[in-house]
Structure 1
Amino acid sequence: MTTADIPPAALRIDAMSALLARNWWAMALRGVAAVAFGLVALFAPGATMLSLIIVFAALMLADGVLNLIAGVRSARRHERWAMLILQGLASLVAAGVAIFLPGLTVLAFVYLIAAWAVVSGAFAIAAAVRLRGDHGRWWMGFGGFISVVWGVLLAIVPLVGALVLTWWIGAYAIVFGVTLLVLSYRLRARRLAAVPGATPHPA
Protein backbone atom coordinates (compact mmCIF):
# COMPACT_ATOMS: atom_id res chain seq x y z
CA MET A 1 0.00 0.00 0.00
CA THR A 2 1.37 3.42 -0.96
CA THR A 3 0.83 6.75 0.73
CA ALA A 4 -1.74 7.66 -1.90
CA ASP A 5 -3.87 4.66 -0.86
CA ILE A 6 -4.06 5.78 2.79
CA PRO A 7 -7.13 7.90 3.65
CA PRO A 8 -6.36 11.57 4.43
CA ALA A 9 -7.92 11.22 7.89
CA ALA A 10 -5.54 8.38 8.77
CA LEU A 11 -2.58 10.45 7.56
CA ARG A 12 -3.65 13.36 9.77
CA ILE A 13 -3.98 11.06 12.79
CA ASP A 14 -0.50 9.58 12.17
CA ALA A 15 0.98 13.07 11.80
CA MET A 16 -0.66 14.18 15.04
CA SER A 17 0.60 11.07 16.84
CA ALA A 18 4.14 11.71 15.59
CA LEU A 19 3.92 15.35 16.68
CA LEU A 20 2.84 14.33 20.18
CA ALA A 21 5.61 11.75 20.38
CA ARG A 22 8.22 14.35 19.45
CA ASN A 23 6.93 16.70 22.14
CA TRP A 24 6.51 14.16 24.94
CA TRP A 25 8.58 16.35 27.24
CA ALA A 26 6.02 19.17 27.01
CA MET A 27 3.31 16.75 28.12
CA ALA A 28 5.52 15.65 31.02
CA LEU A 29 6.09 19.26 32.11
CA ARG A 30 2.33 19.87 32.06
CA GLY A 31 1.86 16.79 34.21
CA VAL A 32 4.48 17.89 36.73
CA ALA A 33 2.93 21.37 36.90
CA ALA A 34 -0.56 19.92 37.44
CA VAL A 35 0.64 17.58 40.19
CA ALA A 36 2.54 20.41 41.88
CA PHE A 37 -0.55 22.63 41.75
CA GLY A 38 -2.67 19.82 43.15
CA LEU A 39 -0.31 19.27 46.07
CA VAL A 40 -0.31 22.98 46.87
CA ALA A 41 -4.12 23.00 46.73
CA LEU A 42 -4.31 20.07 49.15
CA PHE A 43 -1.73 21.26 51.66
CA ALA A 44 -2.06 25.05 51.27
CA PRO A 45 -5.71 25.67 50.32
CA GLY A 46 -5.59 29.29 51.41
CA ALA A 47 -2.78 30.13 48.99
CA THR A 48 -4.55 28.24 46.23
CA MET A 49 -7.81 30.10 46.74
CA LEU A 50 -5.93 33.39 46.81
CA SER A 51 -4.18 32.57 43.53
CA LEU A 52 -7.52 31.70 41.91
CA ILE A 53 -8.92 35.03 43.07
CA ILE A 54 -5.91 36.85 41.58
CA VAL A 55 -6.43 35.08 38.24
CA PHE A 56 -10.14 35.99 38.34
CA ALA A 57 -9.29 39.62 39.14
CA ALA A 58 -6.82 39.79 36.25
CA LEU A 59 -9.40 38.33 33.90
CA MET A 60 -12.07 40.81 35.00
CA LEU A 61 -9.60 43.70 34.74
CA ALA A 62 -8.65 42.77 31.17
CA ASP A 63 -12.29 42.25 30.24
CA GLY A 64 -13.26 45.62 31.69
CA VAL A 65 -10.51 47.54 29.93
CA LEU A 66 -11.25 45.89 26.58
CA ASN A 67 -14.97 46.58 26.91
CA LEU A 68 -14.31 50.22 27.77
CA ILE A 69 -12.03 50.60 24.75
CA ALA A 70 -14.65 48.99 22.51
CA GLY A 71 -17.33 51.26 24.01
CA VAL A 72 -15.30 54.43 23.41
CA ARG A 73 -14.60 53.42 19.82
CA SER A 74 -18.27 52.65 19.25
CA ALA A 75 -19.23 56.06 20.65
CA ARG A 76 -16.81 57.78 18.27
CA ARG A 77 -18.44 55.93 15.36
CA HIS A 78 -21.91 56.87 16.65
CA GLU A 79 -22.73 53.20 17.28
CA ARG A 80 -24.31 51.60 20.34
CA TRP A 81 -21.84 51.98 23.18
CA ALA A 82 -23.79 52.06 26.46
CA MET A 83 -23.90 48.31 26.99
CA LEU A 84 -20.16 47.94 26.34
CA ILE A 85 -19.37 50.71 28.82
CA LEU A 86 -21.65 49.18 31.46
CA GLN A 87 -20.09 45.75 30.98
CA GLY A 88 -16.62 47.24 31.25
CA LEU A 89 -17.47 49.10 34.45
CA ALA A 90 -19.08 45.98 35.96
CA SER A 91 -15.97 43.94 35.17
CA LEU A 92 -13.73 46.61 36.73
CA VAL A 93 -15.88 46.66 39.86
CA ALA A 94 -15.67 42.86 40.07
CA ALA A 95 -11.89 43.07 39.69
CA GLY A 96 -11.68 45.69 42.44
CA VAL A 97 -13.79 43.60 44.80
CA ALA A 98 -11.65 40.54 44.09
CA ILE A 99 -8.43 42.47 44.76
CA PHE A 100 -9.44 44.49 47.83
CA LEU A 101 -12.05 42.13 49.31
CA PRO A 102 -10.86 38.60 48.47
CA GLY A 103 -12.84 37.04 51.31
CA LEU A 104 -16.07 38.50 49.92
CA THR A 105 -15.21 37.10 46.50
CA VAL A 106 -14.74 33.60 47.93
CA LEU A 107 -18.04 33.83 49.80
CA ALA A 108 -19.86 35.04 46.68
CA PHE A 109 -18.42 32.15 44.69
CA VAL A 110 -19.48 29.60 47.31
CA TYR A 111 -22.97 31.11 47.61
CA LEU A 112 -23.34 30.97 43.84
CA ILE A 113 -22.51 27.26 43.83
CA ALA A 114 -24.87 26.71 46.78
CA ALA A 115 -27.73 28.45 44.97
CA TRP A 116 -27.07 26.40 41.84
CA ALA A 117 -27.08 23.16 43.86
CA VAL A 118 -30.38 23.99 45.56
CA VAL A 119 -32.12 25.09 42.35
CA SER A 120 -30.86 22.16 40.26
CA GLY A 121 -31.73 19.73 43.06
CA ALA A 122 -35.26 21.14 43.31
CA PHE A 123 -35.74 20.73 39.56
CA ALA A 124 -34.46 17.15 39.78
CA ILE A 125 -36.95 16.35 42.55
CA ALA A 126 -39.78 17.93 40.55
CA ALA A 127 -38.80 15.87 37.51
CA ALA A 128 -38.60 12.71 39.61
CA VAL A 129 -42.20 13.22 40.79
CA ARG A 130 -43.38 13.08 37.17
CA LEU A 131 -41.30 10.03 36.21
CA ARG A 132 -42.45 6.45 36.36
CA GLY A 133 -40.83 4.15 38.90
CA ASP A 134 -39.05 2.06 36.26
CA HIS A 135 -37.36 5.13 34.77
CA GLY A 136 -35.03 5.76 37.70
CA ARG A 137 -37.51 7.92 39.57
CA TRP A 138 -36.13 7.23 43.04
CA TRP A 139 -32.50 7.68 41.95
CA MET A 140 -33.26 11.05 40.39
CA GLY A 141 -35.18 12.13 43.47
CA PHE A 142 -32.39 10.97 45.76
CA GLY A 143 -29.82 12.83 43.66
CA GLY A 144 -31.93 15.98 43.81
CA PHE A 145 -32.29 15.63 47.58
CA ILE A 146 -28.51 15.27 47.99
CA SER A 147 -27.96 18.33 45.80
CA VAL A 148 -30.37 20.43 47.89
CA VAL A 149 -28.80 19.29 51.17
CA TRP A 150 -25.32 20.03 49.85
CA GLY A 151 -26.36 23.50 48.71
CA VAL A 152 -27.91 24.28 52.10
CA LEU A 153 -24.81 23.09 53.93
CA LEU A 154 -22.62 25.25 51.68
CA ALA A 155 -24.77 28.27 52.46
CA ILE A 156 -24.62 27.57 56.22
CA VAL A 157 -20.83 27.01 56.41
CA PRO A 158 -19.41 28.75 53.29
CA LEU A 159 -15.81 28.79 54.50
CA VAL A 160 -15.81 25.01 54.97
CA GLY A 161 -17.39 24.73 51.52
CA ALA A 162 -14.60 26.84 50.01
CA LEU A 163 -12.01 24.62 51.69
CA VAL A 164 -13.63 21.45 50.36
CA LEU A 165 -13.87 22.93 46.85
CA THR A 166 -10.16 23.73 46.95
CA TRP A 167 -9.40 20.14 47.96
CA TRP A 168 -11.53 18.86 45.08
CA ILE A 169 -9.64 21.09 42.66
CA GLY A 170 -6.34 19.80 44.06
CA ALA A 171 -7.41 16.16 43.76
CA TYR A 172 -8.50 16.71 40.17
CA ALA A 173 -5.22 18.43 39.30
CA ILE A 174 -3.18 15.55 40.74
CA VAL A 175 -5.18 12.90 38.85
CA PHE A 176 -4.95 14.94 35.64
CA GLY A 177 -1.21 15.49 36.11
CA VAL A 178 -0.51 11.79 36.73
CA THR A 179 -2.48 10.95 33.59
CA LEU A 180 -0.33 13.37 31.59
CA LEU A 181 2.85 11.88 33.06
CA VAL A 182 1.77 8.35 32.07
CA LEU A 183 0.88 9.61 28.60
CA SER A 184 4.24 11.38 28.23
CA TYR A 185 6.07 8.17 29.25
CA ARG A 186 4.23 6.20 26.60
CA LEU A 187 4.88 8.89 24.00
CA ARG A 188 8.58 8.87 24.90
CA ALA A 189 8.70 5.09 24.54
CA ARG A 190 7.02 5.38 21.15
CA ARG A 191 9.47 8.08 20.12
CA LEU A 192 12.50 6.01 21.17
CA ALA A 193 11.10 2.93 19.44
CA ALA A 194 10.97 4.87 16.19
CA VAL A 195 14.65 5.88 16.47
CA PRO A 196 17.07 3.16 15.23
CA GLY A 197 19.44 1.95 17.96
CA ALA A 198 17.53 3.68 20.77
CA THR A 199 16.45 1.88 23.91
CA PRO A 200 12.67 2.20 24.39
CA HIS A 201 12.80 1.56 28.14
CA PRO A 202 16.12 2.76 29.58
CA ALA A 203 17.02 1.72 33.08
Structure 2
Amino acid sequence: MLKLYGTYWWAFVARGILAVLFGIAALLLPGITLHVLALLFAAFLIVDGIFSLATSVWGKSLDQRWWLLLLEGLMGIGIGAVALAWPGLTVLAIILFIGFWALFTGMLELTAAFSLRGETAAQWLLGLSGIISILFSLILFSSPEAGVVVMAWLIGLYAILFGMVLIVLGFRLRRHNLIFSVNL
Protein backbone atom coordinates (compact mmCIF):
# COMPACT_ATOMS: atom_id res chain seq x y z
CA MET A 1 0.00 0.00 0.00
CA LEU A 2 2.91 2.33 0.72
CA LYS A 3 4.09 1.83 -2.87
CA LEU A 4 0.63 2.76 -4.18
CA TYR A 5 0.35 5.83 -1.96
CA GLY A 6 3.98 6.80 -2.58
CA THR A 7 3.63 6.59 -6.35
CA TYR A 8 0.56 8.81 -6.36
CA TRP A 9 1.62 11.12 -3.53
CA TRP A 10 0.67 14.13 -5.64
CA ALA A 11 -3.02 13.12 -5.57
CA PHE A 12 -2.99 13.54 -1.78
CA VAL A 13 -1.39 16.97 -2.19
CA ALA A 14 -3.93 17.98 -4.86
CA ARG A 15 -6.83 16.80 -2.67
CA GLY A 16 -5.36 18.72 0.25
CA ILE A 17 -5.00 21.93 -1.75
CA LEU A 18 -8.59 21.64 -2.99
CA ALA A 19 -9.82 21.08 0.56
CA VAL A 20 -7.89 24.09 1.88
CA LEU A 21 -9.21 26.32 -0.92
CA PHE A 22 -12.76 25.15 -0.27
CA GLY A 23 -12.28 25.75 3.47
CA ILE A 24 -10.99 29.28 2.90
CA ALA A 25 -13.99 30.05 0.68
CA ALA A 26 -16.37 28.77 3.36
CA LEU A 27 -14.66 30.91 6.03
CA LEU A 28 -14.44 34.08 3.96
CA LEU A 29 -17.98 33.83 2.62
CA PRO A 30 -20.00 32.51 5.58
CA GLY A 31 -23.07 34.52 4.60
CA ILE A 32 -23.47 32.76 1.26
CA THR A 33 -26.59 30.72 0.94
CA LEU A 34 -26.56 27.05 1.73
CA HIS A 35 -27.46 26.48 -1.90
CA VAL A 36 -24.13 27.93 -3.07
CA LEU A 37 -22.26 26.14 -0.27
CA ALA A 38 -23.91 22.87 -1.32
CA LEU A 39 -22.82 23.42 -4.93
CA LEU A 40 -19.24 24.23 -3.86
CA PHE A 41 -19.14 21.20 -1.61
CA ALA A 42 -20.61 19.00 -4.36
CA ALA A 43 -17.92 20.18 -6.78
CA PHE A 44 -15.23 19.51 -4.16
CA LEU A 45 -16.61 16.01 -3.49
CA ILE A 46 -16.71 15.12 -7.17
CA VAL A 47 -13.16 16.36 -7.87
CA ASP A 48 -11.84 14.74 -4.68
CA GLY A 49 -13.63 11.52 -5.62
CA ILE A 50 -12.15 11.57 -9.12
CA PHE A 51 -8.64 11.92 -7.68
CA SER A 52 -9.25 9.01 -5.28
CA LEU A 53 -10.83 6.89 -8.01
CA ALA A 54 -8.03 7.59 -10.50
CA THR A 55 -5.35 6.85 -7.91
CA SER A 56 -6.99 3.51 -7.07
CA VAL A 57 -7.33 2.48 -10.72
CA TRP A 58 -3.80 3.56 -11.66
CA GLY A 59 -2.35 1.86 -8.61
CA LYS A 60 -4.39 -1.34 -8.81
CA SER A 61 -1.35 -3.38 -9.77
CA LEU A 62 0.77 -1.87 -6.98
CA ASP A 63 -1.28 -2.97 -4.00
CA GLN A 64 -4.16 -5.32 -3.20
CA ARG A 65 -5.77 -2.72 -0.91
CA TRP A 66 -6.36 -0.28 -3.78
CA TRP A 67 -10.10 -0.76 -3.32
CA LEU A 68 -10.11 1.49 -0.21
CA LEU A 69 -9.41 4.51 -2.41
CA LEU A 70 -11.89 3.20 -4.97
CA LEU A 71 -14.67 3.12 -2.35
CA GLU A 72 -13.75 6.56 -1.06
CA GLY A 73 -13.79 7.95 -4.60
CA LEU A 74 -17.11 6.37 -5.53
CA MET A 75 -18.70 7.62 -2.30
CA GLY A 76 -17.46 11.17 -2.90
CA ILE A 77 -18.60 11.22 -6.52
CA GLY A 78 -21.98 9.73 -5.61
CA ILE A 79 -22.74 12.16 -2.79
CA GLY A 80 -21.41 15.05 -4.86
CA ALA A 81 -23.69 14.10 -7.76
CA VAL A 82 -26.72 13.94 -5.44
CA ALA A 83 -25.87 17.37 -4.00
CA LEU A 84 -25.55 18.77 -7.54
CA ALA A 85 -28.80 17.20 -8.71
CA TRP A 86 -30.83 18.50 -5.73
CA PRO A 87 -29.14 21.66 -4.42
CA GLY A 88 -32.43 22.79 -2.90
CA LEU A 89 -32.35 20.08 -0.24
CA THR A 90 -32.99 21.28 3.27
CA VAL A 91 -30.18 22.42 5.52
CA LEU A 92 -30.57 19.25 7.54
CA ALA A 93 -30.23 16.98 4.51
CA ILE A 94 -27.08 18.75 3.29
CA ILE A 95 -25.55 18.61 6.75
CA LEU A 96 -26.36 14.89 7.05
CA PHE A 97 -24.87 14.20 3.59
CA ILE A 98 -21.69 15.97 4.63
CA GLY A 99 -21.69 14.11 7.94
CA PHE A 100 -22.07 10.70 6.30
CA TRP A 101 -19.33 11.50 3.80
CA ALA A 102 -16.96 12.61 6.58
CA LEU A 103 -17.79 9.52 8.67
CA PHE A 104 -17.28 7.12 5.76
CA THR A 105 -14.07 8.87 4.67
CA GLY A 106 -12.75 8.81 8.23
CA MET A 107 -13.43 5.10 8.64
CA LEU A 108 -11.70 4.29 5.34
CA GLU A 109 -8.70 6.47 6.24
CA LEU A 110 -8.38 4.77 9.64
CA THR A 111 -8.59 1.37 7.93
CA ALA A 112 -5.86 2.42 5.50
CA ALA A 113 -3.72 3.81 8.34
CA PHE A 114 -3.96 0.53 10.27
CA SER A 115 -3.06 -1.45 7.15
CA LEU A 116 0.05 0.74 6.75
CA ARG A 117 1.15 -0.04 10.32
CA GLY A 118 4.82 -0.90 10.31
CA GLU A 119 5.36 0.20 6.69
CA THR A 120 5.95 3.89 7.37
CA ALA A 121 6.12 6.36 10.22
CA ALA A 122 3.68 8.60 8.32
CA GLN A 123 0.65 6.34 8.80
CA TRP A 124 -0.28 8.39 11.86
CA LEU A 125 -1.08 11.32 9.53
CA LEU A 126 -3.59 9.23 7.62
CA GLY A 127 -5.01 8.03 10.95
CA LEU A 128 -5.21 11.62 12.20
CA SER A 129 -7.04 12.61 9.04
CA GLY A 130 -9.51 9.78 9.68
CA ILE A 131 -10.04 10.80 13.31
CA ILE A 132 -10.59 14.44 12.29
CA SER A 133 -13.18 13.33 9.73
CA ILE A 134 -15.02 11.12 12.23
CA LEU A 135 -15.04 13.83 14.92
CA PHE A 136 -16.35 16.33 12.38
CA SER A 137 -19.17 13.95 11.42
CA LEU A 138 -20.11 13.48 15.08
CA ILE A 139 -20.31 17.26 15.54
CA LEU A 140 -22.58 17.54 12.51
CA PHE A 141 -24.81 14.68 13.66
CA SER A 142 -25.11 16.06 17.20
CA SER A 143 -26.15 19.58 16.13
CA PRO A 144 -27.59 19.59 12.59
CA GLU A 145 -29.88 22.53 13.27
CA ALA A 146 -27.00 24.95 13.87
CA GLY A 147 -27.05 28.10 11.80
CA VAL A 148 -25.74 28.25 8.26
CA VAL A 149 -22.94 30.65 9.18
CA VAL A 150 -21.74 28.45 12.04
CA MET A 151 -22.00 25.41 9.80
CA ALA A 152 -20.04 27.18 7.06
CA TRP A 153 -17.31 27.99 9.58
CA LEU A 154 -17.26 24.43 10.87
CA ILE A 155 -17.09 23.05 7.36
CA GLY A 156 -14.39 25.58 6.42
CA LEU A 157 -12.25 24.79 9.45
CA TYR A 158 -12.65 21.07 8.88
CA ALA A 159 -11.74 21.37 5.20
CA ILE A 160 -8.63 23.44 5.97
CA LEU A 161 -7.44 21.07 8.70
CA PHE A 162 -8.23 17.99 6.60
CA GLY A 163 -6.48 19.53 3.59
CA MET A 164 -3.36 20.49 5.53
CA VAL A 165 -3.03 16.95 6.87
CA LEU A 166 -3.42 15.53 3.33
CA ILE A 167 -0.77 17.93 1.98
CA VAL A 168 1.74 16.96 4.68
CA LEU A 169 0.90 13.28 4.14
CA GLY A 170 1.38 13.65 0.37
CA PHE A 171 4.84 15.15 0.76
CA ARG A 172 5.81 12.50 3.31
CA LEU A 173 4.64 9.83 0.87
CA ARG A 174 6.68 11.52 -1.86
CA ARG A 175 9.75 11.21 0.32
CA HIS A 176 9.01 7.49 0.79
CA ASN A 177 8.51 7.07 -2.95
CA LEU A 178 11.89 8.73 -3.63
CA ILE A 179 13.56 6.44 -1.10
CA PHE A 180 11.76 3.43 -2.58
CA SER A 181 12.81 4.41 -6.12
CA VAL A 182 16.46 4.82 -5.10
CA ASN A 183 16.47 1.42 -3.40
CA LEU A 184 15.27 -0.34 -6.56
TM-score normalised to the size of structure 2?
Answer: 0.41
Of Structure 1 and Structure 2, the greater helix share is in 1
Under a length normalisation based on structure 1, what TM-score does the superposition of the two structures give?
0.38
Q: Which has the larger radius of gyration?
A: 1
- Return the structure number with greater relative CO, CA threshold 8 A, min gap 6: 2
